Chains A and B, each alone.
Chain A
């Protein structure tokens, strides 16, 4: 089994899915920083007391050292946003990706209470871009080879899939509230939709649809608990796709996309929905992004690409 896993890690594939992840994640992280940086009324979120905010000291080591002032936070924000643009277009390789990651982490750690899980999802994604490199469909690749297209190692995308399934599984395993569990009263989603801190919807509307939220509470809970099965199905489909595993991963993926679109529309969750969707889109096979003909037929990844059950979505 270990040999099979190592063989899968060795494989290469068309770089489109990885490029979708790199570009999408860098742009969402860029918007996340810009959301604070371009609106002066929001600057206090990332300033310490001496800089005009209310924090005694900033959380991140860099800003504890230099102080979180308009000047220092502004400078790091501008540099980080520039680096994120470079990551999106694929310029500068791992060095630029690492610098963007360090800048982003320094900013979101200034005041962790004024943020959410999306900050950490984005930082984990940036770390995986640093680990996996820019790859094909990047300016670096064009400079090296004179063409956009090309192959990339498959292992970074496997880590992307593992990361997002880990998020779903472990958030589900912590939902042991009696309002979440299927044998409880299943009011969790309705309750969340009525919480003024997050909700975008009228409580009356939520109340009228109470039975629907009850069903969705149970489905979301089961979906999150079963996320390890989803990763297993996805990983197995890289090795030897079967109809059963294909159905499982397609169903789990489709529900995930719907879940994030709905939660992003109904709740104010910042960048969580777009960041999660970038992870889900990166789970899609390169063929779904138009790959297939350009692949080097000598690569073992072709075995997956040419299998009709592996084609298309996730």
Chain B
């Protein structure tokens, strides 16, 4: 009896974690997610590959199709997994192994700046000597946070985190009249351009700003 129960639980556990781990999107996909430059470049790239093999997909229709299929799969998966939520969430058996599924071709360069006497001064940069807040921002958890708030569709999280961080930096720099948290999206350079020293091309520049005295 004990053996049968053990084997039944092992079979159920293995089935459940395998299903949870199967490829899927982590949350409903918004249109802004799909229009993120990295995601769009991937879809357009696949459409070109299909074209080379004789198919004639329309880029916009492919994007629309990917969006619909991803959301439909997400809904179906959520319905199937709902009864097992306590088992996966509370007992830590959740499986989501979406790790580096596609390289970020338009990564964010993150910085924190303060305004002193009308001039902006960088106090933190993700790569470089400016290291205000490095204990928080340079470890893996801080880097994950910067990565996730840097997504095109993450305006709300970016605003909340940015205003909080700006308030903190103003607290440490009493001479500053304003602070801004800056996400500069750059296009990854091909190796030849890196070796030649060609500067990075900024494709997007988003800041969250806080004036001294404003509520974070």
Contact = CB atoms under 8 A, between A and B. Distances in A.
B148 interface: yes
A196 B101 contact: no
A45 B164 contact: no
Interface residues of B, number: 67
Contacts of A109: 89
A207 to B, nearest CB: 4
A45 B92 contact: no
A187 interface: yes
Nearest to B200: A203
B14 interface: yes
Size bracket of the A interface:
35 or more
A41 B49 CA distance: 48
Contacts of B105: 179, 191
A259 to B, nearest CB: 12
Given A178-B46, A187-B103, A123 B94 contact: yes
A117 B96 contact: yes
Contact of A123 (B13, B92, B107, B165): B92
B95 A124 contact: yes
B57 interface: no
Interface string B94-125: 11111111111101111000000000000000
A280 to B, nearest CB: 16
Nearest to A191: B103
A101 interface: yes
Given A117-B99, A268-B140, A190 B191 contact: yes
Contacts, number: 193
A45 B107 contact: no
Q: Is the interface of A mostly helix, strand, loop or mixed?
A: helix
Contacts of B49: 178
Interface in B1-59: 3, 6-7, 10, 13-14, 17-18, 21-23, 42, 45-46, 49
A244 interface: no
Contacts of A194: 107, 188-189, 194
| 10 shortest interchain CB distances as A-B pairs | A123-B92, A270-B140, A191-B103, A54-B164, A177-B102, A207-B194, A207-B191, A41-B135, A210-B191, A170-B21
Interface of A: 6, 9-10, 35-36, 39, 41-42, 44-45, 53-56, 61, 101-102, 104-105, 109, 111, 113-118, 120, 123-124, 126-127, 130, 155, 159, 162-163, 166-167, 169-171, 173-180, 187-188, 190-192, 194-199, 203-204, 206-208, 210, 268-271
